Chain A
Amino acid sequence: MREEIDIEHRQSVFLAATSHELKTPLTSLRMYVDTLSVREFPAPKRAEILETMSVDLDRLNDLIDRLLQAQKVLTPGTGLPFERTDISEETVRAVSDLAHRIEFAGKHRLNVDTEYGLMALADPRRWQLVVKNLVDNAVKYSPNGGMIDVFLVNRNGKIELTVSDEGQGFTPDEGARIFERFYRIGNEDTRRTQGVGLGLYLVREIVHSMKGTVAAHSQGLGKGSQFIVTIPALKSEQNA
């Protein structure tokens, strides 16, 4: 019963957060459309406003994409069958997709170190989603910037992905709930970040479907965080 009330509460928080996330770029867009329709600006200022509007449109598009992706991942039978996948290659590809945006923002440094040719049975797009959500999470929870490390190694026959940041970290209580659906650190009035509370939940669901595990560690608030995903590697003869 208590669990039902809890999920109901988190669903309402999710709706509030989604509505807020959609309305924020919409508010900005509406304001700048109004502004451009009634005020004259020199060309450089006008270009700057249009660039701002373009970023808002991207943000809106990105959020809608993520909600649709979540819907797909969470609907049984919609994923591709698992196939032999070069996890090293897919990891580098996923990080490269994000690197431009992260480096453009100029706050974070990305350090990527992957062992070459690690193979596993996986859906490549979903593995990329795992990597992207973890890196996005690291960016989001280190608003003051810093180093984000992505390591991929073979450890005792298992592939281990570690994503760590130097950001806000979390308390043990928060860490215990961090992979729950719609869970977000802080409350809805004093949110520390953008987001709707789906990213890490999706990571856990995808990793579990690959018979893997995921864990989160932090030394405490302000001390950064570390996420470790482990999935079974294909054995060396299968790797050949």
Chain B
Amino acid sequence: MPERILIVEDEEHIAAGLKLNLEAEGFETFHVADGLKAIAEIRSGKHDLVLLDVMLPGASGFDVCEQIRAEGNHIPILFLTARDSDDARVRGLELGGDDYVTKPFSIRELIVRIRAMFRRSEWYRKAPEQGSALSFGGSKIDLSAYTADTPNGAVTLTQKECMILKLLAEHEGHVVTRDQIIEQVWGYDRYPSTRTIDNLIVRLRKFFEEDPRNPRHLHTVYAAGYKFTQAAVSE
């Protein structure tokens, strides 16, 4: 069954060109020109990925993304916009966009990015070999539901936090570099900074380590990256 892409774009020529190219690549497409209609379409669950303009009638692309993420919907969203400032890019990604492409764009590059997003999305959904439950240090994490039971109580994780844990667990006992995390979990190179990754690891240690300053499962490997060990190992 072809993957379904929702095109949210109020410029008819651009929408028609996107439709033409994406359908030639084997995708199924559906087009709306209004932010409020986009929210309703995304809620319908009929689409696998959203190409989202920012300047839209009804509700802006930023508002659409914020609303959808607030509802716990993790559909991949690629912003496709003329807004090319760093502030706008960071805003789009912080609101939960998965990628950000500025106009005018190369249609070939856009298609490569869309395929990469689908691959990443597939990896997000796929349960690790050991199953979607990950247990260590007295905590039990559900990698599909983004929830965890810890000795200090129940915790809800963000999608990115959960995917970092999943990636580390898939490479249990081996070093995972910060670049690998960005590539696999985010998929683009300008955002986030490696500092963002470090901050997320600090947050995860607060949830899952008995003593976050002396981690026994989520280890820092100096000048290399991070390593996860299921069994407690002192650094």
A19 touches B82 (CB 8 A): yes
Asked whether, in the complex, the Cβ of B60 is within 8 Å of the Cβ of A190, the reply is: yes
A27 to B14, CA, bound (A): 7
A144 within 8 A of B: no
Whether A35 lies near B107 (C-beta < 8 A) is: yes
How far is A207 from B83 in the complex, measured between Cα atoms in Å? 35
Q: Does A74 contact B (CB under 8 A)?
A: no
| A55 CB–B CB distance under 8 Å | yes
Residue of A26, A29, A35, A189 touching B60 (CB-CB under 8 A): A189
Alpha-carbon separation in the docked complex, A39 to B25 (Å): 11
Any A CB within 8 A of the CB of B20 = yes
Given A19-B82, A24-B11, A39-B24, A31 and B104 contact (CB-CB distance below 8 Å): yes
Is residue B18 within 8 Å, beta carbon to beta carbon, of the partner chain?
yes
A190–B107 Cα distance when bound, in Å, is: 25
Query: CA A56 – CA B11 in complex, angstroms?
Result: 11
B103 engages A190 (CB within 8 Å):
no
Query: Quick check: is A217 within 8 A (CB to CB) of the other chain?
Result: no
B55 interfacial contact with A, CB 8 Å: yes
A28–B57 CA distance with the chains assembled, in angstroms:
19
Asked if B195 lies at the interface with its beta carbon under 8 angstroms from chain A, I say no
Known: A24-B82, A189-B54, A189-B60. Is A34-B13 also a contact (CB below 8 A)?
A: no
Cα distance, A56 to B54, chains bound together (Å): 20
How many angstroms between the C-alpha atoms of A31 and B24 in the bound complex? Answer: 14
User: B58 contacts the other chain (Cβ, under 8 Å)?
Assistant: yes
A31 touches B107 (CB 8 A): yes
B-contact 0/1 string along A24-57, CB 8 Å cutoff: 1111111110110011000000000000100110
Interface string of A9-28 (1 = CB under 8 A from B): 00000001001100111111
A34 close to B14 (CB less than 8 A): no
Is the C-beta of B56 less than 8 angstroms from some C-beta in chain A?
Answer: yes
Q: Count A-side interface residues using an 8 Å CB cutoff.
A: 25
CB < 8 Å: which of A16, A190, A192 contacts B83? Answer: A16
* Chain A positions within 8 Å of B83 at CB level: 16, 20
Task: Verify if B96 is at the interface (C-beta below 8 Å from A).
Answer: no
Mostly, the A contact residues are helix
A188: chain B residues within 8 A (beta carbon): 55
Across the interface, do B62 and A27 meet the contact criterion of CB distance under 8 Å?
no
Distance, CA A28 to CA B104, complexed state (A): 8
Tell which of A27, A32, A189 touches B105, judged by Cβ atoms closer than 8 Å.
Answer: A27
- B82 and A190 contact, CB distance less than 8 A: no
Once A23-B103, A28-B17, A38-B108 are accepted as A-B contacts, the answer to whether A189 and B82 lie under 8 Å apart by CB is no
Q: Please tell me if the beta carbons of B59 and A190 are within 8 angstroms of each other in the complex.
A: yes
In the complex, B35 has a CB within 8 A of chain A: yes
Q: Tell whether, in the assembled complex, residue B104 and residue A190 are in contact, meaning their CB atoms are under 8 Å apart.
A: no
With a CB–CB cut-off of 8 A, which chain A residues contact B60?
189-190
B106 within 8 A of A: yes
- What are the residues of chain B within 8 A of A34 when measuring CB–CB? 106-108
Which residues of chain B have C-beta atoms less than 8 A from A27's C-beta? 11, 14, 82, 103-105
Check B63 for interface membership: any CB of A closer than 8 A. yes
Q: What's the minimum C-beta distance from B114 to chain A, rounded to whole angstroms? A: 14
Residues in B neighbouring A24, C-beta threshold 8 A: 11, 14, 82, 103
Residues of B within 8 A of A177 (CB): none
Question: Which residues of A lie under 8 Å from residue B231 when comparing CB positions?
Answer: none
* Interfacial chain A residues near B221, Cβ < 8 Å: none
Q: How far is the CB of B37 from chain A (nearest CB, A)?
A: 13
Kindly report which residue of chain A lies nearest to residue B13, judged by CB atoms: A28
Interface centre among A27, A32, A39 (most CB of B within 10 A): A27
A19-B82, A27-B14, A30-B107 given; 12 more Cβ-contact pairs under 8 Å: A20-B82, A23-B103, A24-B82, A27-B105, A31-B107, A32-B17, A34-B107, A35-B21, A52-B17, A55-B13, A189-B61, A191-B55
A-B contact pairs, 12 of them (CB 8 A): A23-B82, A23-B104, A27-B104, A30-B107, A31-B18, A31-B104, A35-B107, A38-B108, A39-B24, A52-B16, A189-B60, A190-B58
Which 7 pairs from chain A and chain B are nearest by CB?
A189-B60, A27-B103, A27-B104, A28-B13, A23-B82, A31-B17, A30-B104
